[in-house]
Structures are given as structure tokens and as C-alpha cells.
Amino acid sequence: MDLSDSSGKASKSVTAAVRKRDVLPYILLFILLAGLLAVLAGALLPPYYHAVPALLWSLGFCVSGMLLGFLFGIPRSLPSGTVNAAPPDEQANGKGRSTDEPPPASADAATGTPSNTLFLGTPTPMEINSNLVEVSDWLTKIIVGVGLIELKSLPGSARSMAAFIAPSLATDTPTAMAIVGGIMLFFSVHGFLIGYLLTRIYLSIMIKRADSLVKNESVRLESGKEIEVTELSRLQQKSLDDMQEAVTQLLLAHPPDGGAAVAALAGVPTAQKPSSLVLWLDDHPRNNTLLMEQLERENIKVDQAVSTRQALAMLQQKHYALFITDMARVENGRRVKDAGVRTVREVRQTLPELPIVVYCSKDTVASYGTEAQAAGARFITTSGTSLLASVNKLIHEQRGNEAQPPSQA
């Protein structure tokens, strides 16, 4: 399900930025290869110096510059902290535990009883080892300090280095000195840029991911799935918005038929609820993590599909009590805005009795909601809270119909 047009535009901009960033290594590699080809051309064409020593010294200066750029580009780490999730009952209900509620998840685990919370929490955070950052900071200060102090003697040191390398090229001394000077300048500077840019852009991302794992900036759900805290916060905020909208609608209208049955079923322990199997089609299943988690708490197992073809194949292999689909999604590499309507029609042709629920954004409901309903969708909603209620209601009705004995003529 697409959350909004703004989020889609933001994701596109992020993707474009990532693509631009990923071009950088190829640009740096192209420049490096161009420099090496220039050095090799000087060996094949006048002044005909030895190629192997020139290439070795070029790579040596490049690696030295890369090492220096690596030292200067290592990102500094913020003081390591902890990310502790709120107590499970507060996360699920937004309030404190009452005296008649079940004990915490730890007590449930000790007694062997199932937990009534979405989150199992995270282990104790670990301290991040920042020795490399400290060493880098120490060395860069020494290098900068010594460089400023010995700034006047740097040209002389460079000439001495060039004079030391020049005989290995086996050509006249003035030419060899000029070639070595160009090699030292080009490959040292380019190597520094390679080391600094790649370290600053890519290593910082890798370190951030590693730090996130060490600091446990993720929450493990009851089903065993892990989700980042930022992603969890976004999904929880969306759930809160959905619940506020649903409560407003309940205050303005009477509850739909079957509300009493769903309310009665809500008080039944999860272990006593009959198991059901639901198929959910969405090309962004990550957005539905919390909703699927809540369905599984109701003993409703969820299988996922990301394309219409995969969903139709799974519907032929298993018996599902309900089918959920989004509206706009990518099919065969192309974005189809009314993909949900087409899916509903195809499923109706093969399984006319299967209840179908469409869960999508408000924009797609306004554009294709009527078509989806005409195609055979039982329920169309933009709210996760309404989705959970409708799924429970439709499954309860289906169980009731299956439990009734066939009428005799």
C-alpha cells in the first residue's frame, strides 16, 4: 500500500540520490585508470622510460593517498547511548498496566503462557568500540601539525623523493624528475580523494548500520521479526491516526452489522480462537508489518505476495479464508494504478466465494474505489483499524456460515 504521494516522491528522491552516489566509485576508478594509461603511454611512446617501476610507484603513491584519505574521512561517532522501547503494555495500549491485566512478557516466558504484547523487547545494549576513530583523530592531528611545522621543507623533501625514484625509470634525469613529480602529485591527490570520499560516504553508512545493531536500535516482534525503531515509530503513528479516524466515525454513525459478534470474539483468548489463513498482496509488505503482527495475535496467519501472478498461484495451492490486496503497485516492472481492480476481477473469476478486502491510500480509493467494489471487493478501506475489524468480521461470518447445517428442501 502506498502511504501518500509525498512519501512516494520522497522515496524517489532518495533513490535518485543513491543512484547519483553510486556513480562516484566508477568516476574515481575511471580517473585512476586514465592516469595509469597515461603512465603506460609514456613507456610505450617517447620518452620511453621503464613501465613497471613507473606503474609500481604510481600505485604506491595512490595507496598512500588512499590511506591518508581514509584517516581523514573516518566519521566520528556520537557518544553511544541506548534505545529502550516502552513497556509492551504501554506500546500496545498507550497507558499503564491495570491490576487485572496479564503479567509482563518475562513472566509469560517463565510460565510458558503466550504473551499478550506485540514486542518482546531487546537485549541489553553494548558499548561501541571507537578505538579506530580515536586513533584516526590522533594521527590526523599529528599529520596536520607536523605538516604545518615542516611546510617550508616539503618542496625540498619532494625533490629528494623524486631524485630517489628517477633512476628507476632508466631515462635522462630531467625527464625522469618531471615524470616522477607528475606521478607523485596526481596519484597522491587522487588517492586521497578516493580514500576520503569512499570512506566518508560508504564507510559511514556501514558504521551506522553496525552501530545500530550493536546499540539494538531495533525491536523484535512477538513473531520473531525485527523492525527498526524509526520504522516502528512511523507505522505506530499511522496506526494512531487510523484509530483516531475510526473512533470519530464510530461516534458519528452506528456500528455496522456483525459488530457484536466481533466484540464478543475479541474477549476470547488467542489460543482458543480458530486458526485462519489470509493472503495479503502488496508490493510494499514492509508497510504492513504491524497490521500483520496484530492479525497473527488473533490467530490469523498471513501469507504475503508481491505480484498478481504470485498471488493467483498461491490461491490455487492453499485454501485461504480471505484475500487482501492493495491498489496501485508495480507489475512486471511497470507501475499500474488500478492493479487492485484487475486483481479483484481475476480472483473473482477463479474463486467467486472468496472475500476480498482492498486496503489502499485515500487517493486511490477516490479514483478506483467504485470500480473495485463493482468488480467484487467486499470491503475497501484506507484505515488499518478498519481493516483489522473487517477481517475479523468477514472471517467470523465465514465460520458461522460453515458451521450452519445445510438447509433441507
- The DSSP annotation for 157-197 comes to HHHHHHHHHGGGG-S-HHHHHHHHHHHHHHHHHHHHHHHHH
CA neighbor of 301 nearest in space, from 327, 329, 280, 325: 280
Ranges of the chain whose pLDDT falls below 70: 1-21, 77-130, 211-219, 222, 241-242, 244-273, 400-409
Residue corresponding to grid cell 598512500 = 64
Q: 299: phi > 0 → left, psi -120 to 50 → alpha, else beta; which?
A: left
Is 105:117 a contact under the CB 8 Å cutoff?
yes
Which tens digit of pLDDT belongs to each residue from 129-152? 667 778 888 888 888 888 888 888
Cell of 1: 500500500
To the question of pTM greater than 0.75 for the whole model, the response is no
Cell of 213: 545493531
Q: What is the pLDDT of residue 217?
A: 61
Q: What percent of the chain has pLDDT over 70?
A: 67
Q: What is the pLDDT of residue 370?
A: 92
- Say how many C-beta atoms besides its own lie within 10 A of residue 280's C-beta: 25
CA neighbor of 64 nearest in space, from 218, 151, 187, 147: 187
Give the torsion sign (CA, 36, 38, 39, 44): positive
Is 207:75 a contact under the CB 8 Å cutoff?
yes
- What's the distance, CA 23 to chain centroid? 21
Q: Is 205 exposed, middle or buried (0-12, 13-18, 19+ CB in 10 A)?
A: exposed
Which tens digit of pLDDT belongs to each residue from 75-129? 775 554 444 444 444 443 343 443 344 444 444 444 444 444 454 444 444 455 6
**Buried (b) or exposed (e) across 125-153, using 16+ Cβ within 10 A?**
eeebebeeeeebeeeeeeeeeeeeeeeee
Give CA–CA dist 269/292, Å, rounded: 18
Is 57:183 a contact under the CB 8 Å cutoff?
yes
Q: Is 291 exposed, middle or buried (0-12, 13-18, 19+ CB in 10 A)?
A: buried
Is 351:368 a contact under the CB 8 Å cutoff?
no
Which of helix, strand or coil describes residue 44?
A: helix
Q: What is the pLDDT of residue 402?
A: 64
What letter would DSSP give residue 326?
-
Largest Cα–Cα separation, the chain: 112
**Euclidean distance between the first and the last CA atom of the chain, given in angstroms as a whole number:** 46
